[in-house]
Amino acid sequence: MKVLILETADTAQERVVSLIAQTMRDKPNAVLGLATGGTMLPVYEKLVALHKNGGPSFRDVTTFNLDEYVGLAPEHPQSYRSYMNDVLFGKVDINLQRTHLPRGDARNPEDEALRYEAAIAQCGGLDLQLLGLGHNGHIGFNEPTSSLKSRTRIKTLTRETRDANSRYFRADETIPTFAITMGVGTILDARHCLLLATGAQRPMQSPR
């Protein structure tokens, strides 16, 4: 494991973008594991800018996001599918059919988690998994005490996580209680993991 402490958040975001771009150059049909949240917004902004300025194509790339809120349909403005469409997928030449997030509105979320785990395996596993870090140390929505062997499943969000993420919801919206998340074991199976943490706490601001 390598830990890089860089001078500024900007430099760290640029380093992350350059590692993602290198993965795509080395393997144009790479399988990328993606994250959402405030930390990733400048990363996707820089990745889109690079793509538009002669950077690598997403044409043959496949993506799997870490997680999705249970109960939110893809079209819901606070769903992670909406976030990804807004900040990345809608701005690059990716084939939307190859972009995957768990369905938050699946009739049976447990089955959806199993389906998602199997879909990752069917694509040959993740070449690079991008990660942020929750206020309580979670990765994906694997709250503290999650098993290192855990696979994609339903997790109950802690009060701390729901409070932290309330900044992304309007006051009249209900913050979901459950999420479907890749497990720690699923994440650790990725050929490379890249975790970005920029600052002790992000300012309370809307991601979009």
Q: Is 139 in the site for ligand F6R (CB under 6 A)?
A: yes
φ, ψ for residue 179, nearest 5 deg: -140, 155
| 157 in Cβ contact with 177 (< 8 Å) | yes
Dihedral angle computed from the Cα positions of residues 132, 144, 147 and 41, in that order, rounded to the nearest 10 degrees: -10
> Which residue's Cβ lies closest to ligand F6R?
132
Q: Whole-angstrom distance between the N-terminal and C-terminal Cα of the chain?
A: 32
Least CB distance from residue 53 to ligand F6R, whole Å? 25
Interface pick for ligand F6R out of 16, 61, 66, 128 (rule CB under 6 A): 66
Q: Is 67 in the site for ligand F6R (CB under 6 A)?
A: yes
Which one, 60 or 76, has the nearer CB to ligand F6R?
A: 76
CA–CA separation, 7 and 118 (whole Å): 40
The stretch among 51-59, 99-107, 113-121, 139-147 that binds ligand F6R (CB under 6 A) is 139-147
Q: Which bin fits 145, alpha (ψ -120 to 50), beta or left (φ > 0)?
A: left
The stretch among 11-19, 34-42, 43-51, 56-64 that binds ligand F6R (CB under 6 A) is 34-42
**Percent of residues in the chain assigned helix, strand, coil, to nearest 5:** 35, 15, 50
Count of residues making up the chain: 208
Q: Is 104 in the site for ligand F6R (CB under 6 A)?
A: no
Catalytic residues: 67, 136, 138, 143
Structure tokens at 177: 């209680």
Q: Is 46 in the site for ligand F6R (CB under 6 A)?
A: no
Least CB distance from residue 66 to ligand F6R, whole Å? 4
Q: Is 132 in the site for ligand F6R (CB under 6 A)?
A: yes
Q: Is 35 in the site for ligand F6R (CB under 6 A)?
A: yes
Chain contacts with ligand F6R (rule: CB under 6 A)? 35-39, 66-67, 132-134, 138-141, 202
